[in-house]
Amino acid sequence: MLRLLVILIPLCMLACADTDRTQGGTLLPAVVQLKVGDVVFRRGSGFTSQVVLMAEHGGAYSHVGIVADSAGVLMVVHAVPGEPDYKGDEDRVKMEKPEDFFASIRAHQGAVYRHRDSVVARKAAVVAMQTYRRKTLFDHDYDDSDTTKMYCTELITHAFRQAGKPLKGVSHQHLHLVGFESDCVLPTDLQHSSELKQVITF
């Protein structure tokens, strides 16, 4: 989630570009019944994820997305760097199957959180889908004031804000690393919202 990743991502992209996303299976348990608007977290296995976890100072997860309805099929919409769908693919907001989001080649742990208001959750999921359909690029500047680009947690906070119910209790962290300084929301900050309740961890 940091500009520092811009230096490291090319190495990750080389490792990810030609890999079958579901090779080795998925962490998502078959018993999990996802709902539209669920906020899904994963702890990544790649180097870029380790950078995020270092910034989290002990946080459990490095990435987050939201479950949306795509023509009756549940999908995960998320803003992610370094996971191209094809050669030359830009870092962007993308959509994929939950099993792929939690593919064991890219995740060690996962969690599902659910908003207490299902109507608000569905509205937020619609906003996320609209953001995906606009082909929104990934925000390497981590600037919440510019919604023309999005980073992972920004997508979630933006979706609920546009749904008319900003997530309470979510704060920004000031990050000051080599070559990068910004105030941004980290995955752990979303978990602190009183409006999101944990459904399952795995």
Q: What is the pLDDT of residue 118?
A: 98
* Domain membership flag for residue 147: yes
* Domain membership flag for residue 82: yes
Distance CA 75, CA 102 (A): 12
Kindly report the CATH number assigned to the domain that includes residue 70. Answer: 3.90.1720.10
**Reported confidence tier of residue 183, pLDDT bands at 50, 70, 90:** confident
**Average pLDDT of the chain to the nearest whole number:** 85
**Reported confidence tier of residue 1, pLDDT bands at 50, 70, 90:** very low
Q: What is the pLDDT of residue 7?
A: 36
Q: What is the pLDDT of residue 60?
A: 84
**Reported confidence tier of residue 172, pLDDT bands at 50, 70, 90:** confident
Question: Which residue is it, tokens 């270092």?
Answer: 54
First to last CA, the chain: 23
Q: What is the pLDDT of residue 17?
A: 32
For 150-162, give one letter per residue: b (16+ CB within 10 A) or e. Answer: bbbbbbbbbbbeb
pLDDT at 3 over 80: no
CB 39 within 8 A of CB 156: yes
pLDDT tens for each residue of 8-53:
333 233 233 333 344 569 999 999 999 999 999 999 865 555 555 5
Distance CA 158, CA 123 (A): 11
> Which two three-digit tokens encode residue 25?
């299976």
How many domains does the chain fold into? 1
* Domain membership flag for residue 103: yes
* Domain membership flag for residue 118: yes
Q: What is the pLDDT of residue 182?
A: 75
pLDDT tens for each residue of 92-126:
999 999 999 999 998 999 999 999 999 999 999 99
Question: Which residue is it, tokens 């993308």?
Answer: 94
Question: Which residue is it, tokens 């109507």?
Answer: 119
Q: What is the pLDDT of residue 173?
A: 79
Q: Which domain holds residue 120?
A: 5-9+33-201
Distance of CA 160 to the CA centre of its chain: 14
pLDDT tens for each residue of 63-82:
999 999 999 999 999 999 99
Distance CA 117, CA 101 (A): 24
Distance CA 153, CA 112 (A): 15
* Domain membership flag for residue 49: yes
* Domain membership flag for residue 25: no
CB 175 within 8 A of CB 55: yes
How many CA atoms lie within 13 Å of 42's alpha carbon, on the beta-carbon side?
26
Q: What is the pLDDT of residue 175?
A: 67
Q: What is the pLDDT of residue 21?
A: 42
* Domain membership flag for residue 20: no
* Domain membership flag for residue 18: no
